[in-house]
């Protein structure tokens, strides 16, 4: 596989989300459009649905965190450090850096004799606009503890500590922590990682680009881990249960992942990733879902809306769940006086194109 920039793809991905503007909601005109591709895959590898290009590798970014949490469970570290469901959910999180997130990371690190200074993810105040404003008004400075990935890094550190590995340099490609992640991604997603496009993630760890169909397979196996061995099966189930039980920990106030994971009540879990990725594991159907908004969806107005439409199509998002997460199915656009002047909503033909 070549890492060279691709030419304009011949077949463009379908439009998944439209953003409207109008004098009133009834008079809305489409101002902007987000294209996307999405794969729905069963645990046996069957591509159940594929919309758009599901074969070209994309970086899953933080959406793959539930899979990256497997070594924390499988190594015995989670048990040894007596980790709660909240802490396991947090180890899969892109969190808002709200007090409970920060305090929980700090406490879990302390139980392993570690401190926030051991985190190598880089400083952040909050990835969430509202929390950021609050924190800046309060004079809070950026710190690795407040990095939206600090829960994942806490999990990395605890795994390394439990296995007696040097924790310093755990973000480096050749550290056992990262090598285990490559291995678990290879096994869960059914790929040979050699030759996959590789980059550096926002939190400084190496990241791999995989076809959406392989990412969806990884989530399908997380949803239906039968045949993956006793240890992995138990780990996968615990990760799903923990996210479902502690939806606040995986994101925070106002976030799609928190609202959706609360509404689905373990029928499905969802996880966002930067640059427009959203993935889901659906135990109820034994399916995995992976989608990416082509353009990167830089203010995350499209990836949740697009995933909600896919989960509604699959029958997972029923009327009850839709009512619980109503604020996430269509994202209002407001003027600076606060008036609603449009919205981001799923395209009438999505999913399908």
The site for its own copies (CB under 8 A) is made up of: 3, 5-8, 12, 14-15, 18-23, 27-35, 57-59, 120-125, 133, 136-137, 139, 147, 197-204, 206-207, 209, 275-276, 293-299, 301, 335-339, 341-342, 347-349, 353
CB of 19 to its own copies, least distance (A): 6
**CB of 159 or CB of 300, closer to its own copies:** 300
Task: From 201, 225, 241, select the one nearest 88 (Cα to Cα).
Answer: 241
CA gap 226, 230 in Å, rounded: 8
Nearer to its own copies, 82 or 348 (CB): 348
* Min dist. Cβ of residue 32 to its own copies (A): 3
Q: Whole-number minimum distance, CB 340 to its own copies, in Å?
A: 9
The residue (of 144 and 283) whose beta carbon lies closer to its own copies is 144
Helix axes 212-223, 176-189, angle to 10 degrees: 90
What is the secondary structure of 106-138 as a DSSP string?
HHHHHHTT--GGG--S--BS-SSHHHHHHHHHT
Tokens of 165: 């590995």
Please identify, using beta-carbon distances, which residue of 194 and 348 lies nearer to its own copies: 348
Per the CB < 8 A criterion, the answer to whether 132 and 125 are in contact is yes
Closest approach of Cβ 133 to its own copies, in Å? 6
Q: Which token pair is 333?
A: 């656009």
Closer residue to its own copies in complex, CB, 15/282:
15
CB 236 within 8 A of CB 70: yes
From the CB of 43, what's the least distance to its own copies, in Å?
28
Evaluate whether 35 touches 14 at the Cβ level (below 8 Å): yes
């Amino acid at each position: 596989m070549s890492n060279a920039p691709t030419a304009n793809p011949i077949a463009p991905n379908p439009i998944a989300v439209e953003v409207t503007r109008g004098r009133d909601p009834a008079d809305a005109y489409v101002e902007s459009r987000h294209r996307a591709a999405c794969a729905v895959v069963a645990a046996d590898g069957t591509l159940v649905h594929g919309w758009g290009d599901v074969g070209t590798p994309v970086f899953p970014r933080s959406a793959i965190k539930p899979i990256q949490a497997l070594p924390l469970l499988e190594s015995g570290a989670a048990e040894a450090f007596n980790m709660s469901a909240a802490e396991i959910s947090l180890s899969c999180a892109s969190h808002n850096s709200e007090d409970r997130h920060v305090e929980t990371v700090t406490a879990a690190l302390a139980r392993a004799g570690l401190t926030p200074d051991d985190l190598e993810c880089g400083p952040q105040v909050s990835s969430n606009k509202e929390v950021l404003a609050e924190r800046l008004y309060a004079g809070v400075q950026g710190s690795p503890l407040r990095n939206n990935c600090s829960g994942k890094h806490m999990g990395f550190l605890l795994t390394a500590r439990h296995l007696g590995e040097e924790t310093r340099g755990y973000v480096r490609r050749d550290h056992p922590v990262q090598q285990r992640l490559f291995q678990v991604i290879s096994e869960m997603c059914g790929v040979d990682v050699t030759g996959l496009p590789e980059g550096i993630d926002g939190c400084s760890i190496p990241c791999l680009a995989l076809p959406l169909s392989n990412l969806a397979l990884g989530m399908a196996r997380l949803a239906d881990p039968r045949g993956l061995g006793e240890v992995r099966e138990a780990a996968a189930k615990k990760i799903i249960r923990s996210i479902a039980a502690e939806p606040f920990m995986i994101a925070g106030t106002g976030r799609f992942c928190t609202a959706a994971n609360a509404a689905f009540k373990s029928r499905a879990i969802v996880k966002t990733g930067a640059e427009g990725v959203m993935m889901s594991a659906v135990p109820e159907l034994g399916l995995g879902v992976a989608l990416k908004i082509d353009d990167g969806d830089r203010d995350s107005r499209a990836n949740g809306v697009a995933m909600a439409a896919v989960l509604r199509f699959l029958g997972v998002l029923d009327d009850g769940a839709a009512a619980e997460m109503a604020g996430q199915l269509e994202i209002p656009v407001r003027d600076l006086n606060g008036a609603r002047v449009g919205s981001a909503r799923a395209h009438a033909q999505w999913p399908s194109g």
